[in-house]
Structure 1
């Protein structure tokens, strides 16, 4: 009977010792967890590097530091530089003669082929692209419309002009000046001495000239 009681007392003794040991281990684990969670930024970074179970990518603080270290942070925007809009020069006053560089000439034919007896008709356009209104001479002497066929000069508005042949116009910026011109299909000459002959069927080219300016060529055919 004593031997059985001794064994029972021994079991109770060892159970108590195991309970105390487990309690101590639990306290140690809790203290270790509290210390690790209360560590500051640099210590956490060091633990993450040495511990194989830690993942730096899951820590927002470490991810931000890594971003800055790699130079991927948003760069500081540079101040924008606004270029000044060109303004009219003091010498460019409204009403002065137009500069050739500010004028654009164009010529457009009514059609490409004219049958027998049909007179070719053209629209001549002058546009002022300068900063202010300017004046230009669009008379038959200053703004010449010339028709040629190969090297043959067929007709020109400067031939046989009576009077001064000037026509000053105010050209507003961007507002085209348009003139319609009809050719009677007859040749002209600078002398104007004899009756001009009628142009033969064939291919012809019309061009507008104004000082040093030239319009694109307009090609048409007479039948």
Structure 2
């Protein structure tokens, strides 16, 4: 029989639970710590973004601060240029402009204009309207402009030295330029209502009385021969 030590190995043996706390396994991180770490990381990233934005704005402000000086310098230069331009003499016409101006037809020389006045009948009852035909003939070589308006090419009626009527008295129309070439003729029909007229073209105008009358046309110094006609009772 083997000796008995008095100690029971079965009852005194220790069993280790490897999953129990304090046996070498790392503890689990609490959920709130995990979220705090994520929030802190986002805050740090946001702060860095804000710092970058402010830094970029600061750099842009440095560059943009130079612009007003450039603009003020440009404005001052422009103002000085305008002052220089205002003091400069008018530009001299170029040769082409001078040539074109010289080539434009000028007003006809009255020495080259021949005027004639005619009428269909040289005897009419007093108070009867008449039509005078005015013809202007050009004898010059170069083309010119003839103003046949009532104010520039006049037609006037007289009885002796008494001024009876004038084409320009009641005709307020403006310039009537006509292009005249060599040997050109301009013809106008001018109506007379049989009444006297004044330069103010009064409404109440008496009829011309029976008698002998003459009509003459004039363009500056060029004058027609007198057209003589009779008004009868």
Q: Does the Cα contact within 8 Å between 2:157 and 2:216 map onto a contact in 1?
A: yes
Larger Rg: 2
Deviation at 1:128? Answer: 1.0
Moved over 6 A (4+): none
2:78 aligns to what? none
The 1:108/1:96 distance shift into structure 2, 3 A limit, reads same
Residue 125 (1) aligns with residue 143 (2): no
Cα distance in 1 between the residues matched to 2:184 and 2:120: 21
2:56 aligns to what? none
1:214 aligns to what? 223
Q: Does the Cα contact within 8 Å between 1:187 and 1:199 map onto a contact in 2?
A: yes
Deviation at 1:134? Answer: 0.8
Q: Which of 200, 205, 209 lines up with 2:209 in the alignment?
A: 200
In the TM superposition, 1:111-150 aligns within 5 A as 111-150=121-160
- CA deviations on 1:110-155 (whole Å, 9 max, x unpaired) are 1111135532221111111111211011001001100010111000
Residue 186 (1) aligns with residue 195 (2): yes
Deviation at 1:183? Answer: 0.9
Cα distance in 2 between the residues matched to 1:116 and 1:190: 22
- CA deviations on 1:34-91 (whole Å, 9 max, x unpaired) are xxxxxxxxxxxxxxxxxxxxxxxxxxxxxxxxxxxxxxxxxxxxxxxxxxxxxxxxx9
In the TM superposition, 1:10-159 aligns within 5 A as 93=103, 95-159=105-169
Q: Does the Cα contact within 8 Å between 2:116 and 2:217 map onto a contact in 1?
A: yes
Q: Does the Cα contact within 8 Å between 1:147 and 1:156 map onto a contact in 2?
A: yes
- CA deviations on 1:3-28 (whole Å, 9 max, x unpaired) are xxxxxxxxxxxxxxxxxxxxxxxxxx
Deviation at 1:102? Answer: 1.1
Q: Does the Cα contact within 8 Å between 2:126 and 2:194 map onto a contact in 1?
A: no
CA RMSD of aligned residues (A): 1.9
Q: Does the Cα contact within 8 Å between 1:145 and 1:157 map onto a contact in 2?
A: yes
* TM-score where L is the length of structure 2: 0.53
Task: Indicate the SS of the match to 1:169.
Answer: strand
Q: Does the Cα contact within 8 Å between 1:93 and 1:132 map onto a contact in 2?
A: no
Aligned residues: 132
Cα distance in 1 between the residues matched to 2:152 and 2:205: 23
Deviation at 1:93? Answer: 4.7
Cα distance in 2 between the residues matched to 1:147 and 1:214: 13
Q: Does the Cα contact within 8 Å between 2:132 and 2:190 map onto a contact in 1?
A: yes
Q: Which runs of 5+ in 2 are unaligned?
A: 1-100
